[in-house]
A = this chain, B = another copy of it.
Amino acid sequence: MLRVDILLLDLVVVLALARLLGYGARLVGQPPVVGEIVAGIALGPSLLGDVIGRDLFPEDILSPLKALADVGLVLFMFVVGLELDQRLVKGKGRVAAGVSVGSTALPFVLGCGLALLLVDDHAPEDKKLAFVLFLGAAMSATAFPVLARILTDRNMHRTRLGGLALACAAVIDVLAWTVLAAVVAIAGSGEGQWKIVLVVPFGLLMIFVVRPLLRRLVPSYERAGRLTPNLLSLVLLGMFGAAWTTEYLQVHFIFGAFLFGALMPRGGAAEKLNHEILERLEQLAVLLLLPMFFVVAGLSVDLTTLEASSVWTLLGILVVAIVGKLAGAYVSARFLGVPRKESAGLATLINTRGLTEIVILSVGLQKGVLDTELYSLMVVMALVTTAMTGPLLNLVYPREQVARDLAEAERAALGEHLVHRVAVVIPDLGHADALATAGAAAAAEHDSAELVLVHLPRYPGERLEVGLGLSEELAELTSILGRLESAAARVRTPRLPVQVHTRFSADPEGELDAFVSAAEPDEVVGPLIPSP
């Protein structure tokens, strides 16, 4: 019988600790996921040990907790698939493909090499091959969501480097999940193993039958004008159905959920549909269920039983993971003509393992490929690589460089100007019309002039870790652009071209100066005192 009082207490404790340590991580400049992983480990045997641990997480509560964690994981992997966006790779295909392969192949090979040293001590007799391949695959992951978060936090996702990093991470995502699925298939054992051959027809069915069917969701979404319960039910059914199928086929349910997300329709009205689905699933899944996953993952981490020899193993893992990834990415980026500094930044960014690694490791543990010791050490590796990204990035690609990149991107966007350029700074959209009119009046005093309306809104508060947040941002920017454009339309004449310019900023007042100097205006119109 389920002990519901313990279940509820666990939910409260886990929720509170995950938020608290996530917040703490932010305070020291780390992505929240670092704190959340630590929260999971802290609740496990390493810290609480047998004293509180046995009371908080008795044996019979584990499978209910795991049920919640698994439902959260299905939703999460669907979101990861849904946010996979081919457009991220567009125009960067060559570099993205090259860097992805390079930054995956080297840690994979090195990981397999390390695995050969460890195989006798750690691998089960019947899974030696799977063990070697799994360790290789686990070394080559990159956490797309964490990466996206780091980029948006630093305002880097609109720079060339940011775009490149997102493109590489998207390709690595597909690569890593595919390789992992193959490894898990190999690792499968015993009866039912034959089902694995059905994976290929299942994949074809998904691509050639389910995907076209999913496209039909869009017109019925447009007709309803909103995400109806029926539509959301269909999506949930498909997601859990696909997850169940891959689990049944002896792979793992995460692949089905990911694939289903990746096959959701794109473009046009579908984007709005996806955005609404994200909005419904994300917060509850991420806030309530995913912390359960961290804890279930953390409960298996036991750092207390590590022996002296483990330190050497850990060192080996860290070297393979970090050096393999950094060198693989840097060398292949340089080889493809990416400048030195950007190559270093790129390598640093895709070294982030984050949540993705934890998911992969828990698959390995569950499939019996990893033992507890190696699992624990690999979790530490995930933690270290994620935590090192920020500080290392500050070294190889300082924030001033990012600011220069942004200014350059903006200068390129505005184009060269040969006429009198009037920049109108609009701190508050309510005054857009009045300020545009004032700008037009200033411009009218010159024979040939142009107007640039600028509005830099502040970033919308905290964002969720999972979920790029880009889609929400896009929706807001679109609405802001609409208002700017309507102000522009009022003053635009055949003789006065008007451009509008907006983007989110972490520090609107500070960045305004940078922007204004990048736009190289001949005249600036705006309220003297920026509104708070």
Contact = CB atoms under 8 A, between A and B. Distances in A.
A237 interface: yes
Contacts of A463: 229
Contacts of A5: 244, 247-248, 253
B284 A233 contact: no
Contacts of A280: 279-280, 283-284
Given A8-B244, A63-B60, A288 B229 contact: no
Contacts of A70: 2, 4, 7-8
Interface in A1-42: 1-2, 4-5, 7-9, 11-12, 15-16, 19
Contacts of A253: 4-5, 8
Contact of A233 (B233, B247, B287): B287
A2 B66 contact: yes
A407 interface: no
How many copies of this kind of chain does the complex include?
A: 2
Nearest to A1: B63
A229 B284 contact: no
B247 A67 contact: no
Contacts of A8: 70, 74, 240, 243-244, 247, 253
A228 interface: yes
Nearest to A18: B233
Contacts of A224: 461
A230 B284 CA distance: 12
Tell me if A's interface is mostly helix, strand, loop or mixed. Answer: helix
Given A2-B63, A63-B1, A67-B67, A236 B74 contact: no
Given A12-B241, A15-B237, A461 B67 contact: no
B12 A244 contact: yes
Interface residues of A, number: 55
Nearest to A252: B4
Contacts of A283: 227, 229, 232, 280
Nearest to A7: B67
A464 interface: yes
Given A5-B244, A8-B244, A12-B244, A462 B288 contact: no
Interface string A56-96: 00001011111110110010000000000000000000000
B66 A287 contact: no
A391 interface: no
Contacts of A9: 244, 248
Interface in A270-293: 279-281, 283-288
27 contacts: A2-B62, A5-B248, A7-B70, A8-B247, A9-B244, A11-B240, A12-B244, A15-B236, A19-B233, A63-B63, A63-B64, A64-B66, A65-B67, A68-B68, A68-B71, A224-B461, A225-B460, A225-B461, A226-B460, A226-B461, A227-B283, A229-B287, A229-B462, A229-B463, A236-B287, A280-B283, A280-B284
Given A2-B66, A12-B241, 17 more contacts: A2-B63, A2-B70, A4-B66, A5-B253, A8-B243, A8-B247, A11-B244, A15-B233, A15-B236, A16-B237, A64-B66, A224-B461, A226-B461, A227-B283, A228-B462, A232-B287, A236-B287
